[in-house]
């Protein structure tokens, strides 16, 4: 079959040939007067598959010539083509989508104008910067269209890693209830100590606070401040023996942990969502979060608190996601906004 390269498109003028290409894979757009108009992505793929010959001024057009035309017309065209090609080879019908997405992906066996698309797909080079604010705007539009967002990250060797992106808070079933008890805590430096068998048992059995060290209980600064603000704990400074209030404890916490305010906002929000929250240090994140009793549930999420304008490299993001995947957890980036916390959950998938 022969197509003609013209104005960044490839035209298949023969109606029968155009119909055959379209019906077997839904490539291109049928023309009202017969024939088929192909995007450069479609044309290169069909050329590779030896389903189409392409000519310009009666001369054959090569794969490299088509790629050059694409690069001149579209930014990161080569990245888009690698992703388009991979999804096509996996059996999906892929069509260009409206910005800010790159493609609409239809389920296997589906067809444009007959089947709703399954994903909005972004094709991204590993060298691009992840900007949470810009990414959140993309998710706004994806959610309005009631689709799911799939990110295809292309490395310098052309290998592709796929991430499914969902903006949804983790939720558990561990309800927080005031203890109706004035527990005494001792501020050491970067943690709070609780002594007394009854108090230790109460804190551990109610919401699994702290970690037992011999007969005492060590609380993180987030746990201690949460209990103070809830009215369940009074704290004294181990050095001065003076009582300290919540504001003083916050100041002390910031002295030893500069991003404490950020972390504490996320800690409180997770508690509000009935999650059990523990440190995620050994996994390279701020928190690990359980849906409930840790003897029944494993920690499903690793949660990392980030600022509103958080930016990082995609390789760094990929490292964090891969680590979470390797320990059978899901990473959630908790973006701290003025009045709320927004959670972006990223999961490595195979489409």
329 carries an active-site annotation: yes
Please give the order of strands across the beta sheet that includes 103-106: 93-96, 103-106, 119-125, 148-154, 160-167, 341-349, 330-336, 301-306, 287-290, 276-279
Please give the order of strands across the beta sheet that includes 9-12: 29-30, 36-38, 9-12, 2-6, 53-56, 59-60
The helix (H) or strand (E) run that includes residue 15 is helix 15-23
Q: Is the dihedral of CA 32, 36, 37, 42 positive or negative?
A: positive
Find out whether 9 and 38 touch, Cβ atoms under 8 Å.
yes
Which residue matches tokens 């103070």?
228
Q: Catalytic: which of 132, 290, 301, 343? A: 290
Q: Catalytic: which of 92, 147, 329, 343? A: 329
Report the relative pairing of strands 36-38 and 119-125 from DSSP bridges. Answer: unpaired
226 carries an active-site annotation: no
Q: Catalytic: which of 137, 168, 272, 298? A: 298
Instruction: Classify residue 116 by burial, with Cβ atoms within 10 Å: 0-12, 13-18, 19+.
Output: exposed
Find out whether 194 and 185 touch, Cβ atoms under 8 Å.
yes
d(CA 185, CA 207): 17
Q: Which residues are catalytic?
A: 290, 298, 329
């Amino acid at each position: 079959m022969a197509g003609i390269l013209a104005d960044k498109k490839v035209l298949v003028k023969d109606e029968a040939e155009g119909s055959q290409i379209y019906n077997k894979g839904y490539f291109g757009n049928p023309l009202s007067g017969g024939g088929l108009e192909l995007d450069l992505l479609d044309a290169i793929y069909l050329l590779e598959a030896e389903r189409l010959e392409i000519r310009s001024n009666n001369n054959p057009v090569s794969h490299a010539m088509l790629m050059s035309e694409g690069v001149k017309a579209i930014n990161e065209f080569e990245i888009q083509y690698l992703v388009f090609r991979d999804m096509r080879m996996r059996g999906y019908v892929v069509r260009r989508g409206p910005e800010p997405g790159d493609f609409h992906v239809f389920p296997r066996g589906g067809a444009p104008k007959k089947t709703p698309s399954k994903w909005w797909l972004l094709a991204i080079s590993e060298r691009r910067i992840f900007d949470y604010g810009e990414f959140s705007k993309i998710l706004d539009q994806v959610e309005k269209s009631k689709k799911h967002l799939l990110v295809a990250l292309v490395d310098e060797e052309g290998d592709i890693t796929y991430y499914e992106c969902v903006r949804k808070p983790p939720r558990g079933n561990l309800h927080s209830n005031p203890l109706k008890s004035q527990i005494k805590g001792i501020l050491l430096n970067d943690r709070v100590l609780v002594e007394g068998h009854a108090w230790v048992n109460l804190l551990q059995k109610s919401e699994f606070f702290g970690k037992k060290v011999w007969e005492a209980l060590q609380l993180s600064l987030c746990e201690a401040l949460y209990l103070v603000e809830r009215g369940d704990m009074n704290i004294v400074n181990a050095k001065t023996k003076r009582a300290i209030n919540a504001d003083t404890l916050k100041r002390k916490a910031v002295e030893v942990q500069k991003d404490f305010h950020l972390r504490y906002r996320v800690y409180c929000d997770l508690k509000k969502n009935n999650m059990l929250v523990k440190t995620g240090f050994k996994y390279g994140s701020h928190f690990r979060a359980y849906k409930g009793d840790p003897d029944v549930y494993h920690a499903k999420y690793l949660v990392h608190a980030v600022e509103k304008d958080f930016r990082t490299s995609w390789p760094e993001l990929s490292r964090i996601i891969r680590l979470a995947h390797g320990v059978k957890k899901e990473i959630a980036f908790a973006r701290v906004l003025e009045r709320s916390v927004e959670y972006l959950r990223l999961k490595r998938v195979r489409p």
